[in-house]
Amino acid sequence: MSPPAYDTDQADAPLPVILCVDDEANILSSLRRLFRGRGYEVLTAAGGAAGLEILGRQAVDLVISDMRMPEMNGAEFLEAVRRDWPQTIRLLLTGYADIGSILDAINRGEIHRYITKPWDDNDILLIVRHALERQRLEQEKQRLEALAIRQNDELKALNASLEEKVRLRTAELHKAHDGLLKFNARLKSNFLVSIKVFSNLIEMRGGNLAGHSARVADLARRLAVQLGLEERERDDVFVAAMLHSIGKITLPDDLLQLPETAMSGAQLGLYRKHPLRGAQLLMPLDDLRGAAAMIRAYRERFDGGGYPDGLAGLAIPLGARILALASDYEGLQSGLLTQRRLRPDEARNLIRQGRGNRYDPLVADAFAAMQDAGATSRVTPPAGAPARPVATVATTALRPGATLARDLVTADGSLLLSADHVLDARLIRQIIDFETAQAGMLAVTIYQE
């Protein structure tokens, strides 16, 4: 039974080309008949020179060459094929047992196999088929290796490109993030400045209120830091302290001039509605709801004897308990609670006496610790902010680029510029002009570089 014809894998693939070289015509005819019709294209040449001419003009997959030929023997011919067309498979056809000639062909032509005459048709067909399959597999291997190398190079280039794109995108995101942080910081700064301005407008109705909220806010914020509150809670306490008098805008002017101890029953009833009204004014603003809850409860007492809801103990928001003490300490010295303005030491004694009944013991103890450390008049920087040296200078000593370390306020407590404001030549000129017009020295505290 004859071996199957060569399988090309694809119906439209070109047929393998076999070149038979021999000086005997009958041998060439036999080989042509043997391979024709079995999936091969068969070419013949009557000698080595003719075979080389064919190879020079057409691609050949396999060569079968006789050994003994005139002018150029098989070893010489196959050596030339190996040199110029190394991918072509080389088979030697020999009709005698000449070991020396076969070795010469093997060494010079590096032949794949040798076939003796007379040959067995099935053997030579199998030899050719296996040789061509091996060649095809080797070519496929080389193709896949080249493809893998090319794809690896492309992948490396793609990875490098992706890494660069990721680097650029990351840089863009960092830049955008930094921009958002700066924008948010600017919004927060503008928000706090707006709160201070609004608080200042509220206090302009009564001379005894000027600067009161700013001083309460400073003490309340320092108490919040002393008690270890989170930054958001500290901010809410500060805002609530700045706006805790907002409900008083509904009160008559003459009532604002009276301390609580001098109010009649009707006046006191009207006055005690201001925490509730202040909370109602702020409730529509989502960002101020925490502050609104503190303002509503800042006149409650720890023992439950306060107003407007009669809350007691821990039912009172911590921010409101802080605000209650800070507001009273400042109010006692400003004449808002008593008919006589108390000295700081007198105000502190009353705070101590109110521990556990009017004031939360935890807050009162924090206040006492600050007092013992001499911190009641020192501005506390935000948590995590590096300590920066400050100096209080005359307005004439100001230079462009200086940054305010504290709010710049007038003698009556009105806000001129908020802390962290960077001064330029125009602002410095306006500050000096204001100082001259008011005939009073301004204390300007700036960060030292």
User: What tens digit of pLDDT does each residue of 351-408 get?
Assistant: 999 999 999 999 999 999 988 776 444 444 444 445 678 888 888 888 888 888 777 7
Question: Which residues touch 381 (CB under 8 Å, ≥6 apart)?
Answer: 387, 388
Query: Which pTM was predicted?
Result: 0.52
Q: Percent of the chain scored above 90 by pLDDT? A: 33
Q: Tell me: cis bond preceding 308? Omega within 30 of 0 counts.
A: yes
Mean model confidence pLDDT for the chain: 82
324: pLDDT strictly greater than 90: yes
Q: Tell me: cis bond preceding 118? Omega within 30 of 0 counts.
A: yes
How distant, in Å, are the alpha carbons of 7, 139, 147, 164 from that of 153?
Answer: 34, 21, 10, 16
Residue 309 DSSP label:
S
Establish how many alpha carbons lie within 13 A of residue 427's alpha carbon, considering only the half-sphere containing its beta carbon: 16
d(CA 382, CA 229): 11
Which residue ranges form the domains of the chain, and what is each CATH number? Answer: 17-141 (3.40.50.2300), 214-384 (1.10.3210.10), 388-449 (3.90.105.10)
Mean pLDDT, rounded, for 343-356: 92
Mean pLDDT, rounded, for 127-138: 89
Task: Render pLDDT for 179-207 as a digit per residue (tens, 0 to 9).
Answer: 777 756 665 565 566 666 556 656 655 55
How distant, in Å, are the alpha carbons of 275, 387, 439 from that of 293?
Answer: 9, 32, 42
Question: Which residues touch 414 (CB under 8 Å, ≥6 apart)?
Answer: 200, 203, 204, 210, 211
Question: For position 209, what pLDDT does the model report?
Answer: 60
Task: Render pLDDT for 39-65 as a digit per residue (tens, 0 to 9).
Answer: 899 999 999 999 999 999 999 999 999
Strands (DSSP E) found in 281-438: 390-393, 408-409, 415-417
Mean pLDDT, rounded, for 97-115: 70
Closest CA to 321 of 288, 296, 287, 342: 296
Closest CA to 356 of 318, 324, 313, 315: 313
Mean pLDDT, rounded, for 236-256: 84
Question: For position 377, what pLDDT does the model report?
Answer: 40
157: pLDDT strictly greater than 90: no
